[in-house]
Structure 1
Amino acid sequence: MIADTPPHLPIVYRDDSLAVIDKPSGLLVHRTALARKEKWFAMQLLRDQLGCHVYPVHRLDRPTSGLLVFALSADVARQMSELIQAKQMHKQYLALCRGWLFGHGTIDYPLKEELDKTTDSKAQLDKAAQAAVTHYQAIAHLELPYAAGRYQSSRFTWLQLEPETGRKHQLRRHLAHLRHPIIGDTTHGDGRQNRAFAEHSGCHRLMLHAKSLTFEHPISGKLLELIAPLPPEWQRLQASLNWPSQINHAIY
């Protein structure tokens, strides 16, 4: 969670054109009418840290942690947007979902645009569902000794997720569609399992982390392969629950 004092944003990569941060869970990317009472925003914090204007070129949901790219000029921001639209930025996420899911697969399930009454009041309400594709790979499984339903223990799967498209809440909605919602998802998830997991683990966040980005630098053409470490709260959680060490090896 975000503290009362301005958090210092970890910078994973920086040059004259780009800055990539490791955004903590709970931090908004920029100001919005839906969060008028919030103090801190990634865009504002990074601008103050670097002493220059910054331009977010993609987004992460507020509860999602991980890699977030900012351009340091409007021209680079435009080039990065074109790169993303051409699907030339490869993203990988790490998620903990409900239940045991095995192997790998592709979720090809179109999504209706999620609209907000305040910020999307003038948007088209009958817009057709948009193509949405997510690839997933099960990388580790976990069973914890508490009940959140009819079973005496709770099972989870660590997944690597690779979105091919970038719809709003795509990963969260796609996993919910599979009936394996991401733990901590208060909008599309399993409230009973979320509460039980939070009570048992002490972790009250969405278990979704943008762990890696791969793309060609818009100016130099150099291939950038960036990785964010596991969030600190996840590292503490693994230690406190004695999670198998192979989970770390499987994830990174």
Structure 2
Amino acid sequence: MQSFQILKNDSEQRLDSFLKKLFPQASLSFIFKSIRTGKIKVITLDEQKTKQKPEYKLSTGETVNVYLGETEIQSLRENIKDNVVVSQDKKLHKKDIIFEDEYLLILNKNPGINVHPGDHKSEEVSLIEQVQDYYAQKLDSLTFSPSLAHRIDRDTSGVIVIAKQKQALVQIVQDFKEKNALKKMYFTVVIGKLSHQSGTIKKSLARREKAHNENKIHISESGQEAITHYKVLDEYILQLPEGEVTLSAVEVQIETGRMHQIRVHMAHIGNPILGDKTYGDKKLNSYFEKNYYIQRQMLHAWKLELMHPIKKKALKIQAPLKADMQKFIDSIKK
């Protein structure tokens, strides 16, 4: 027999849901049978040892007793990692932390890293794995680990929000979905002079099926609504061997959070993001990569205004430009 105490981040979920996370190798039918036959019991807060139904909601301080052999319990928990271990050179740096309290961690994400391990086929470390390694045993829970509240692209830098507690995650995901007191601002460098100093792009976006080397997302009337507001902050005129080229620094605010939204919308109006390998200008990208060492798209999640999911206080977050982007801006200003 083994006992599992319900901690705060494990509470307020169904017994069967908790058990499925605790025992990833167990089938639902096995879990239901174990509950029904009394092999799994709950010691409630009044210290009553009872059989419960699968839909029973667990509370902090209760204990789940599992009347199975130790070897069987170990095999049912086989896929659970005690800790994510990240090599020293790939660990999360404290300098990238913009804000932290007991509920939230807000980072200034580096470019060239996926936020989630499922985003890429290689064995490289993802941002969420860095976070889990950073906290190790500091956040007690049997079934919950720090989780992303939203995503940004691999080669986009800037603000990313991570929930450290389940109740914060549930609320902030809802806030992002319903746009509650939420404002997302990006900084980008695009190719060309914009036809207007400010404006709004309203073009629906759809995913292109079976797109291998093609653009994944495209403008489509049958797609999802996407709204992007932009404002030109500065313009830079550069002399290239082929002639004069204008680059524009642009502040972008998005009302919707569609995949590749800013990248597709800016390309659609004839001002693709510099360094964008999917939707950008390949010839100019190649020139700036060779001469200015631009290795990624010049897009940065710059500012975020949101309501704290638990404390209900307004948060205004700003992420400084990453060194590669700041160095490039400084070089073209000269």
- RMSD across aligned positions (CA): 2.2
Question: What is residue 8 of structure 1 aligned with on the other side?
Answer: 92
Unaligned regions of 5+ residues in structure 2, if any? 1-86, 140-144, 213-219
Contact 1:114–1:168 (Cα < 8 Å) also in 2:
no
- Greater shift in the superposed pair: 151-160 or 182-191: 151-160
Question: What is residue 248 of structure 1 aligned with on the other side?
Answer: none
> Equivalents in 1 of 2:133, 2:89: separation in Å?
14
Q: Secondary structure at the match of 2:243?
A: coil
> Equivalents in 2 of 1:116, 1:35: separation in Å?
17
Contact 1:133–1:165 (Cα < 8 Å) also in 2:
yes
Question: What is residue 111 of structure 2 aligned with on the other side?
Answer: 25
Q: Secondary structure at the match of 1:112?
A: strand
- Normalising by structure 2, what TM-score? 0.65
Q: Indicate the percent of aligned positions where both proteins have the same amino acid.
A: 30
Among 36, 41, 45, the alignment partner of 2:130 is 45
> Equivalents in 2 of 1:4, 1:157: separation in Å?
38
Question: What is residue 193 of structure 2 aligned with on the other side?
Answer: 100
> Equivalents in 1 of 2:326, 2:228: separation in Å?
26
Encode CA deviations 1:122-167: one digit per residue, 9 max, x unaligned: xxxx9931100000000000112214xxx51221100000010011
For 2:290, the aligned partner's letter is E
Are 2:164 and 1:80 equivalent residues in the alignment?
no
May I ask how many residue pairs the two structures share in their alignment? 230
For 1:71, the aligned partner's letter is A
Moved segments of 4+, more than 3 Å? 114-118
> Equivalents in 1 of 2:250, 2:271: separation in Å?
11
For 2:191, the aligned partner's letter is R
Unaligned regions of 5+ residues in structure 1, if any? 119-125, 245-252
Encode CA deviations 1:60-115: one digit per residue, 9 max, x unaligned: 00010000000012221110111011112211000000101141000000011345
For 2:132, the aligned partner's letter is R
Question: What is residue 183 of structure 2 aligned with on the other side?
Answer: 90
Higher relative contact order (CA 8 A, sep 6+): 1
Q: Secondary structure at the match of 2:312?
A: coil
Contact 1:29–1:41 (Cα < 8 Å) also in 2:
yes
Query: Shift in Å at residue 4 of structure 1?
Result: 9.3
Give the greater-gyration-radius structure (CA). Answer: 2
Question: What is residue 205 of structure 2 aligned with on the other side?
Answer: 111
Query: Shift in Å at residue 188 of structure 1?
Result: 0.8
> Equivalents in 2 of 1:5, 1:216: separation in Å?
34
CA distance 1:99–1:84, shift in 2 (3 Å): same
